[in-house]
Structure 1
Amino acid sequence: MTLTMSRELQLRIVSAIVMILVVLAATWMGGLAFKTVAVAIGLLVYYEWSTITRLADGSLRAHAFGWFSMALISLNMFFGHADLTVPLFAGLVITCAIPAMLRRVSWWQPGGLLYAGLSAISLSAIRGDDSLGFIAMLFVFVVVWATDILAYFVGRAIGGPKLAPRISPGKTWSGAIGGTVAGVVGGLLVAMSHFQDLGLWVGIVAFTLSVSSQIGDLFESFIKRRFGVKDSSKLIPGHGGVMDRVDGLVFASFAAFFLAVGSSAGSANAVVSMGAFLFGL
């Protein structure tokens, strides 16, 4: 039993190191490399969402349209114009939602397209194509990772009232608060290491992203509990699925993306200046 657990732990550690190196290398390179990672995450998330919610058991036409939509979004991210990304994505989600409104398909169908497509789009938008985008992506990574790690350890050390016992019995309010503090501090450290003059806005953004990442974690736990699955898939050795690893990251990215788009009234500049927005520049 000890030997088996040791091998599982080794596999988990090796997988984690490989994933971190690949993601950080792609983040450093930016451009096509990071877009490839973002698109891969979106496609794999849609695959896992489809599997968990059993979309293939419903309308095959709607299921095929979902995959067609993800393929179209991915191709546009690689070869299309940035200005078309949001309108194309919105149009596809609305089109997918119409059958759900008519009760011909489950709402899990457009929900999966929204969740997976926005995962790829928001990550790619934050990274962008400049050095500021690299810092912005690191900022998001550190906020999410610090939140996740400290929430676990603080929750284990202090315990106390449960955060959402019906969804995720292991999470506590002490862990959530500790994780949020760690996320804000981590984000501020990243920002201060690159910029001298920072306002309160950076702390507010870090706080928002930290809380959003924890909501994303709870959201995925809710989906898995709703459909009675332990892991989103077995794609990552020792870790489960892609959704298990990026649930907090994608929700934090959603928050950053919507804040930026909302602040510029939906103009295309929201995508281009994502890094400037996050740091209040």
Structure 2
Amino acid sequence: MQRELKLRIVSGVILAAIVLAATWYGGLAFRILAVVIGLLIYYEWSKMTGIARDWVANAVGWIGEAAIAFLVLVGNFEFAAGMLAGVTAVGIALIILQGTSRWLPVGLFYAGATGLALAAIRSDDRAGLYAMLFVFAVVWATDILAYFVGRALGGPKLAPSISPGKTWSGAIGGAVSAVVAGVVLVHFLLPGAEIIAAGVAFVLSVCSQSGDLFESFIKRKFGVKDSSRLIPGHGGVMDRVDGLIFACFSAFLLAGLFSLIKGAGMTSLGAALFGL
């Protein structure tokens, strides 16, 4: 147990250092990180759900994810969003025409949207850096405080059939801490945007917890403890970023909506997330 804990701590520190360094540098460095995360998520998804055993579905899946990854790498987020919609539609068509697993289009969208949303929010500007740090702060605050508040207060279970350990007190504590963390961060980085940051932080916290429950549901359905063994001491990539996936895609949608309202392009999503 002691060795496992040490391995978990070392892996966690290394991963955090890589993620934060790529976030700081932005540009191609962060787009590579986003693409790698998306592709690894699809790898784990295909293994867990059995898509990897269907060579047609597996080929379509990897070709689709590779196309999305390429567009994200070159920074063409609008085309990447169109490709994401297209490959998801192809996955649905395969269900209708060939009886392919219904988990194919879900996995295509889940993995592809992750890489796209991460890269588009970070983008190449300072506002993107602030937005990405904001998303991280909200997700991490949600995870940490939900755990400790839930353990301390207990009470009614949030979703006992999916994740027996989660409680309503933990969910509320996580959401409150996320709002506090988000507002404090924005107060120092973008003074004047605290009010909208509080609302966005609450939405992202709820989405983060939903993402955690979604992955718990998938793992329970397919009878696996971890999404893979890619990360020593931590399981798989999905196990580490389940909440981040839902939160980041929700931030992407919110920023896109705000950007459309203001008439800005997709390159300004970081600023749009805070109503700037």
Moved over 6 A (4+): none
* Letter aligned with residue 227 of structure 2: S
Q: 1:16 and 2:12 equivalent?
A: yes
Correspondence for 1:124 = 119
8 Å contact 2:121–2:128 — kept in the other structure? yes
Which one-letter code corresponds to 1:53 in the other structure? T
Contact 2:19 2:33 in 1 (8 A): yes
Deviation at 1:35, TM superposition (A): 0.5
Aligned mates of 1:8, 1:52 — CA distance in 2: 24
Q: How far apart are 1:109 and its partner, in Å?
A: 0.5
TM-score using structure 1 length: 0.94
Q: Is the 8 A contact 1:32 1:78 kept in 2?
A: yes
Alignment of 1:49-64 (within 5 A): 49-58=45-54, 60-64=55-59
Who is 2:183 aligned against? 188
Write out per-residue CA displacement over residues 20-73 of structure 1, whole angstroms, 9 at most, x where no aligned residue.
000000000000110011000000000000011011233x11210100111111
State the match for 2:147 in structure 1.
152
TM-score by length of 2: 0.96
SS of residue paired to 1:170: strand
- What is the aligned-residue RMSD (CA, Å)? 1.6
Q: In structure 2, give the amino acid aligned to 1:101.
A: I
Deviations 1:162-209 (A, max 9, x none): 000000000000000000001110011110011221252211100000
Other structure's SS at 1:171 match = strand
Residue 241 (structure 1) aligned to one of 226, 236, 248: 236
Percent of paired sites with the same residue: 57
Q: Give the total of aligned pairs.
A: 276
Distance 1:266 1:39 in 2: 28
**Could you list the runs of 5+ residues in structure 1 that have no partner in the other structure?**
none
**Partner of 2:134 in structure 1?**
139
Partners of 1:12 and 1:123 in 2: CA distance: 25
Residue in 2 aligned with 1:230? 225
Residue 87 of structure 1 corresponds to which residue in structure 2? 82
Equivalent position amino acid for 1:225 in 2: R
Question: Equivalents in 1 of 2:269, 2:16: separation in Å?
Answer: 23
Q: Which moved more, 1:97-106 or 1:127-136?
A: 97-106
Moved more, 205-214 or 70-79: 70-79
- Give 1:6's aligned residue: 2
- After TM superposition, give the deviation of residue 81 of structure 1 in Å: 3.0
